[in-house]
Amino acid sequence: MPTVGAAHLVGMTVSMRVMSAGHGYQYLLHTVAAGDGDRSLSTPLTRYYTEEGTPPGSWMGSGLPYLGGGELAEGGQVSEAQLQLLVGMGSDPITGEPLGEAYRQYASVQERVDKRVAGLDPELGPVARAQQVAVIEAEEAERGTRRAVAGYDLTFSVPKSLSALWGVADAGTQSLIADAHHQAVAEVIVFLEREVATTRVGAAGPEGAVAHVDVAGVLATAFDHYDSRSADPQLHTHVVVSNKVLTVQDQKWRTLAGRPAHASVVALSELYNATLADRITGTFGFEWEARERGRDRNPAWELAPVPEELVTEFSSRTRQIEEEKTRLIDAYVEKHGREPSATTVLKLRAQATLATRPEKQAHSLADLTAEWRNRASTLLGEDVTGWARTIAASGAPAALLRADDVPLDTIADLGRSVVAVVGEKRSTWRRWNLHAEASRQLMGARFASAEDREAITAMVTDAAENASLRLTPPELASSPLSFRRPDGSSRFRHLGAVLYSTEELLTAEDRLLDRSHATTGPTVDLATVERITSRPDMEGRHLAAITQHLIREDQNIALVMAGIPQAIDQLLADNAQRPRVSTFLRRAEMAVLGKVDEADVADPFLQTARDADRAWPAEIARECATATGGYPFMIQLVGYHTWRTEQGMEITNEHAQRGITVARRKIGQLVHAPALEDLSDVDKTILVAMAQDDEPSRSSDIAQRIGKNTSYMSVYKGRLERSGLIEVLPNETLSFSTPEIRGYLREHAAHYAMATTGPDEVAP
């Protein structure tokens, strides 16, 4: 199952902004085209193809029957007057009656300043009074103006590759893509109603208690938009969820609990991504792939048939933001003399977003589509509408998973993997952090329905909770039945309130705390000194001597070190045992060396021999180069062991073959064996099955070979790809990414088959 690196909010496809009471809703109406009648989310956007602007909003949410005597229905068109009543005033959009308590009115900055100034000591002199007034004005300005929360704008944005395809496709394909998007939005809102939406009852304070109780759905309006602020194709929907909810317990109108809503945004975003991918694959048969977006950013899941150059062409808004962010980072470095932290970079990107934000212009979908098609046709060198029609028709029927297709041992494996990934990003976490990562790790699998996906995601999240260490203590007393949820948990804690960590992280924190109290400098015990000096490291001493010399000469020093990715990953993961090494590596700039053209490998071998006045025949050097496969570590191993095999004046074919043999044995010991040791039994089964082929293997052939379907395979191939052992190529073919592993697996097949199936079983 594919997982990703460090999670950031950058690139989220669902974002949330708080909407203030009053006129905060009006920006949604600025681009709405005039329209008649109702428009449900299933109505094609092409109905408004020639209208200048975007379609009118529509109602959604299972709380609608409780408004206006049941007059509102899902899909009904939202009028400006109705939006003003509900979001602007907190009233029933049909009858105008208040829904519970009115929105609070907060004093403005100036009103608070005036009140505090009026309370100053009248005996103060002019200078002292002026100083006090200045302090008050600064404090109140910093506090800002507080406004009542009227709702939450959840913006669902279609991934860029899918937006690009939607923007240039014919009207029929556009409608199918928009329908899949609307289905995914609706399914996430249903999930939000079931798993997130609650309200608070009771009284806060030492003598009171607050319970989070169920609500009768939410009240929401949906507004579709076509483009980004740079007029690139960016299909997205603003879903405004009202802050007014009806309490199931006593049928009173209250406010939506804000803390669970904020905590769940990332999980809702990941769920939308995966659900939309399911719907698109179910409709067109498209494959999805993870595309890297640079260091410290999550890979983005994009449509495999849509080339990256088309995505880049329609990402001008992103380029504007990134250019401004780079400028702000450079200014920060110049001012502070250091690189900004990850948190500061996020703030600078938000600042760049606002600084480069152009005014939203209203266009008709017809005009936008014509422009998009012209730009894409020029880029691709062909009629882009025909191209889109071809790829839309070329998708093969996909095998979709049902919940009962996923084995329990796979769920347990994924749960542990979720904890491992989340633990790399944070020291403590809650259920929504685990849920979001579970969705990411399930992104590579396609499910038949939202219910199937949500069921497996919940099971993986449960497994991750079980693999975590609970920090929040259990309730001291049992709650009455009316204040317990169906799972038995207390309603006096909000959903997702339990805090988790792991024993390893707590041990690491204890060690840091212990060392923080140390008052002595670094020490080395005598036994360690004797052990080191008994086996002197001449290369290390030489490096240390050079470093000391450069420091004395006040020279800048750059240290470049190389290691195999799996070993570096292990050092990073083994923070508890090697904290200094881990810190050093995390602060270092990392570069991953890719394959080298074999034609470029032989020349350094020959040049090294010439520099040492040794003979290395060109044909033998080329044979050694071929044996490396172009992999940097194999180049090092083959060159080193061939060179060391014979210290004479000429390297013969016998010396080369001996060096190649040793190199293959070493890469098996140092790379393959450790990498395979951490894999699950099913992972090993798949790799052994792949090793039977001389060329890249078809995913369907491997699935048949191990007796499983292709959907089952998708659960594991992404995880193997993330481990660096395989690469998923176009047309669902699988290739080994690690050099010489095919031969290693063949040589040790009996061992790994036994480890996989046990002595009395037959591999599937």
Domain end position, chosen among 614, 645, 671: 671
Q: What is the mean pLDDT of residues 118-123?
A: 89
Going by the DSSP 8-state scheme, the letter that residue 98 receives in this structure is B
The answer to whether 313 and 161 have CB atoms below 8 angstroms apart is no
- 310 and 422 part of one domain: no
Q: What is the mean pLDDT of residues 185-214?
A: 86
Helix locations, 468-600, DSSP H: 503-516, 526-534, 538-552, 565-573, 579-587
Q: Looking at residue 646, what is its pLDDT?
A: 64
Q: Looking at residue 9, what is its pLDDT?
A: 34
Question: 389-398, 420-429, 528-537, 675-684: which range is least confident on average?
Answer: 528-537
Q: What is the mean pLDDT of residues 6-17?
A: 59
The answer to whether 240 and 122 have CB atoms below 8 angstroms apart is no
CATH code at position 752: 1.10.10.10
Asked if the structure places residue 567 within a domain, the reply is no
Q: Looking at residue 567, what is its pLDDT?
A: 63
- Name the pLDDT band for 757 (thresholds 50, 70, 90): very low
- 613 and 719 part of one domain: no
Domain boundaries, position 420: 403-504
Residue 672 has pLDDT above 50, yes or no: yes
Asked if the structure places residue 568 within a domain, the reply is no
Domain end position, chosen among 438, 469, 504: 504
Q: What are phi and psi of 213, to 5 degrees?
A: -115, 165
The answer to whether 187 and 275 have CB atoms below 8 angstroms apart is yes
- 239 and 306 part of one domain: yes
Asked if the structure places residue 647 within a domain, the reply is yes
> Measured between alpha carbons, how far is 87 from 44 in angstroms, rounded to an integer?
26
The encoded tokens of residue 14 equal 């669902």
What total of structural domains would you count in the chain? 6
Q: Looking at residue 206, what is its pLDDT?
A: 61
Share of the chain above pLDDT 70, in %: 84
The full 3-state SS of 247-293, as one line of letters, equals: ECCCCCEEEECHHHHHHCHHHHHHHHHHHHHHHHHHHHCCCEEEECC
Rg of the chain over all Cα atoms, to the nearest angstrom: 31
Residue 584 has pLDDT above 70, yes or no: no
- 301 and 368 part of one domain: yes
Q: Is the dihedral of CA 134, 136, 137, 139 positive or negative?
A: positive
Residue 728 has pLDDT above 90, yes or no: no
Distances (CA, A) of 153 to 28, 45, 87, 497, 646: 10, 21, 11, 23, 72
- More confident position, 337 or 508: 508
Asked if the structure places residue 459 within a domain, the reply is yes
> Measured between alpha carbons, how far is 453 from 156 in angstroms, rounded to an integer?
19
Residue 587 has pLDDT above 70, yes or no: no
Residue 359 has pLDDT above 50, yes or no: yes
The encoded tokens of residue 126 equal 């002019």
Asked if the structure places residue 349 within a domain, the reply is no
Residue 386 is inside which H or E element, if any? helix 384-394
The answer to whether 333 and 339 have CB atoms below 8 angstroms apart is yes
- 131 and 181 part of one domain: no
Asked if the structure places residue 702 within a domain, the reply is yes
pLDDT in tens, 179-191: 999 999 999 999 9
Q: Looking at residue 42, what is its pLDDT?
A: 47
> Measured between alpha carbons, how far is 436 from 72 in angstroms, rounded to an integer?
33
> Measured between alpha carbons, how far is 605 from 628 in angstroms, rounded to an integer?
12
The answer to whether 455 and 177 have CB atoms below 8 angstroms apart is no
Residue type, 453: R
Q: Looking at residue 352, what is its pLDDT?
A: 83
Q: What is the mean pLDDT of residues 606-633?
A: 87
Residue 432 has pLDDT above 90, yes or no: yes
- 617 and 749 part of one domain: no
Residue type, 695: E
Q: Looking at residue 341, what is its pLDDT?
A: 76
Q: Looking at residue 581, what is its pLDDT?
A: 53
Q: Looking at residue 473, what is its pLDDT?
A: 85
- 161 and 288 part of one domain: yes
Asked if the structure places residue 42 within a domain, the reply is no
CATH code at position 649: 1.10.8
Residue 111 is inside which H or E element, if any? helix 109-118
Centroid of chain to Cα 584: 25
- Name the pLDDT band for 266 (thresholds 50, 70, 90): very high
- Name the pLDDT band for 536 (thresholds 50, 70, 90): low
Residue type, 141: A
**Residues paired with 727 in a beta bridge:** 735
- 208 and 264 part of one domain: yes
Q: What are phi and psi of 306, to 5 degrees?
A: -95, 120
Residue 198 has pLDDT above 70, yes or no: yes
The encoded tokens of residue 701 equal 């052939």
Q: Looking at residue 508, what is its pLDDT?
A: 86
Question: 2-6, 9-13, 743-747: which range is least confident on average?
Answer: 2-6
3-state secondary structure of 447: strand
- Average pLDDT value for the chain: 82
Q: Looking at residue 523, what is its pLDDT?
A: 59
Asked if the structure places residue 81 within a domain, the reply is no
- Name the pLDDT band for 8 (thresholds 50, 70, 90): very low
- 713 and 731 part of one domain: yes
- 709 and 608 part of one domain: no
Question: 315-319, 368-372, 439-443: which range is least confident on average?
Answer: 315-319
- 421 and 469 part of one domain: yes
- Name the pLDDT band for 255 (thresholds 50, 70, 90): very high
Helix locations, 629-698, DSSP H: 632-645, 653-667, 673-677, 681-690
- Cβ neighbours of 488 (radius 10 Å): 9
Residue whose pair of structure tokens reads 């790379």 in the numeric block: 671
pLDDT in tens, 32-88: 654 444 444 445 555 555 566 788 899 999 999 999 888 888 999 998 899 899 988
Residue 167 has pLDDT above 90, yes or no: yes
Residue 761 has pLDDT above 80, yes or no: no
Q: What is the mean pLDDT of residues 548-560?
A: 72
Q: What is the mean pLDDT of residues 691-708?
A: 86
Domain end position, chosen among 532, 559, 586: 559
Q: What is the mean pLDDT of residues 242-259?
A: 92
3-state secondary structure of 133: helix
- 384 and 263 part of one domain: yes
Q: Looking at residue 599, what is its pLDDT?
A: 78
